């Protein structure tokens, strides 16, 4: 499994922070025979207990610092590069991911038979119109063209009937399946300026959410 596919699987998992609790157990005291001996034994036990408590607290603080350091390192882990790919567009052109190097790239995986995909199409039309004049980000609509349930003709007819103006790319599995391992649609992926996987949404999304992910990827 590629690094990108592994990231897609693990991206939404929350890393649990373990809270360490230190229990301090007092030692049993010997039976007291003389007053002087009792006082000495109690003082000795108290000092030993305080020493152990200080040691345990120091260790607990150190472990807390180590955990924090580990968490901070985790947030800075390098995200995987998305492999380059080339797809044919509905305008008869070849579109390559690396053509948009230096820009944030939004990929939407969809099909005309998918109800949630249809519901979010106006949101992506709005986003496409906004990004048309932008030099910061680009939207690529990847139709999941399996040649049976979804064909180029079905996809084109849907776009025309709905009055959508964005071009579409025909993805027969090279990107959605081979690179990202997507097994459900709609799915939206955001790639940052360096070509690394930045964020994604499984299922239906909306303009405001994608716009936020674009800003975070810049």
Range with lowest mean pLDDT among 59-68, 83-92, 93-102 = 59-68
Asked whether the beta carbons of 161 and 126 are under 8 A apart, the reply is: no
Is the pLDDT at 176 greater than 60? The verdict is yes
Average pLDDT, integer, range 200-217: 97
Give Cβ neighbours of residue 30 (< 8 Å, ≥ 6 apart).
41
> Do you find a cis peptide bond into 186, omega within 30 degrees of 0?
yes
Which value, in Å, is the radius of gyration of the alpha carbons in the chain?
A: 29
Is the pLDDT at 87 greater than 60? The verdict is yes
Range with lowest mean pLDDT among 75-79, 102-106, 121-125, 160-164 = 75-79
pLDDT band at 70 (very low <50, low <70, confident <90, very high): very low
Q: Give the residues across from 128 on adjacent strands.
A: none
Average pLDDT, integer, range 187-197: 98
pLDDT band at 76 (very low <50, low <70, confident <90, very high): very low
Pick the CATH number of 82-217 from 3.90.550.10, 3.40.640.10, 3.40.30.10, 3.30.70.920: 3.40.30.10
Distance between the two ends of the chain, CA-based, in angstroms? Answer: 27
Is the pLDDT at 15 greater than 50? The verdict is no
Which among 204, 200, 186 has a CA at the least distance from the CA of 144?
A: 186
- What is the DSSP-derived secondary structure letter of residue 100? G
Is the pLDDT at 96 greater than 70? The verdict is yes
Which among 135, 152, 137 has a CA at the least distance from the CA of 188?
A: 137
- What length does the chain have? 218
* Higher per-residue confidence, 13 vs 54: 54
Asked whether the beta carbons of 191 and 198 are under 8 A apart, the reply is: yes
- Residue 133: the pLDDT is 86
Token output for 60: 């607990």
**Global confidence as pTM:** 0.69
* Higher per-residue confidence, 17 vs 88: 88
CA 88/CA 96 separation, integer angstroms: 9
* Domain range annotation of the chain: 35-77, 82-217
CA 178/CA 118 separation, integer angstroms: 24
Identify the burial level of 133 via C-beta atoms within 10 angstroms of its C-beta, where 0-12 means exposed, 13-18 middle and 19 or more buried.
Answer: exposed
């Amino acid at each position: 499994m590629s690094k990108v596919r592994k990231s897609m699987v693990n991206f939404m998992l929350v890393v649990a922070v373990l809270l360490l609790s230190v229990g301090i157990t007092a030692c049993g005291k010997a039976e007291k025979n003389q007053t002087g001996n009792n006082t000495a034994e109690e003082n000795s036990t108290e000092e030993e207990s305080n020493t152990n408590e200080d040691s345990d607290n120091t260790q607990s603080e150190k472990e807390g610092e180590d955990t924090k350091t580990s968490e901070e390192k985790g947030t800075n882990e390098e995200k995987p590069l998305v492999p380059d790919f080339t797809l044919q567009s509905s305008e008869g052109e070849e579109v390559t991911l690396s053509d948009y190097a230096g820009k944030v790239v939004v990929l939407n995986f969809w099909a005309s038979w998918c109800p949630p995909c249809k519901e979010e199409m106006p949101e992506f039309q709005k986003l496409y119109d906004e990004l048309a004049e932008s030099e910061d980000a680009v939207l690529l609509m990847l139709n999941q063209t399996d040649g049976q349930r979804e064909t180029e003709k079905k996809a084109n007819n849907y776009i025309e009937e709905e009055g959508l103006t964005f071009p579409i790319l025909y993805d027969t599995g090279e990107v959605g399946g081979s690179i990202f391992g997507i097994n459900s649609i709609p799915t939206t992926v955001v790639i940052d300026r360096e070509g690394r996987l930045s964020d994604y949404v499984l299922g239906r999304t909306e303009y405001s959410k994608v716009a936020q992910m674009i800003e975070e990827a810049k």
